[in-house]
Amino acid sequence: MIPWFILFSKIHLVDTYTALILSHMLVGLPFIIWIMISFFEALPTEIEESGLIDGCTHHQVFLRIILPISGPGVITASLLSFIFSWNNFMFSVILAGDKTKTLPIAVFNFMSYSEINWGALMAAACIITLPVLIIALVSQRYVVSGLSAGAVKG
């Protein structure tokens, strides 16, 4: 994390949302790509070829045919990336300041040298867990089908 801080301080991005977005994107993007590769490899090439025969360009085939079919994979990767970014503490503690404090840092502030405010700490932990829980419950059917569709073929 020290080189990360040095890099962002040299380009004057410490305590900005840009630094947090870039750091979460640079770590989350390989994870999303790794998840989505199995979905795109599982699709038959005949679907893409039929779209090209019907007159679509490669870009149109991806946007109109491939992307809607791989919707459960996109939702699964998005949910897992959101949970990773929502709970990430290390980037925020290094790169965030008073202007860009994230929720894990706010919860961390309930602990001090002399005492830990357990009641407020537990209440805050429950409250910041609610958005992730609600999103996971709403997209549960897509996640289950997405995880099983992207499984390794035997």
| Mean pLDDT score of the chain | 85
pLDDT digits (tens, 9 = 90+) for 94-117: 888 888 888 888 888 888 888 888
Q: Where are the domains of the chain?
A: 2-149
| pLDDT value for 29 | 92
pLDDT of 154 above 50: no
Q: What percent of the chain has pLDDT over 70?
A: 93
Q: Quote the distance between the C-alpha of residue 153 and its chain's center.
A: 25
Backbone torsions φ then ψ of 41, nearest 5 degrees: -75, -25
**75, 127, 150 from 46: Cα distances, Å:** 24, 47, 19
Say if residues 81 and 28 touch (Cβ distance below 8 Å): yes
Q: From 80, 69, 86, select the one nearest 143 (Cα to Cα).
A: 80
Q: Which CATH architecture has domain 2-149?
A: Orthogonal Bundle (1.10)
Lookup result for tokens 């939702």: 75
- pLDDT, tens digit, 9 for 90 and up, residues 60-88: 999 998 988 888 888 888 888 888 888 88
Residues 6+ apart with CB under 8 A from 91: 4, 20, 23, 24, 27
Q: For residue 147, what pLDDT is reported?
A: 58
Alpha helices by DSSP H, listed for the chain, are 2-10, 17-42, 45-53, 58-61, 67-69, 71-87, 90-95, 103-108, 118-138, 140-149
Spatial distance between the Cα atoms of 34 and 39, rounded to a whole number of angstroms: 10
In terms of pLDDT, which residue wins out, 44 or 141? 44
CA angle 148, 150, 154 (to 5 degrees): 85
pLDDT level of residue 146 (50, 70, 90 thresholds): low
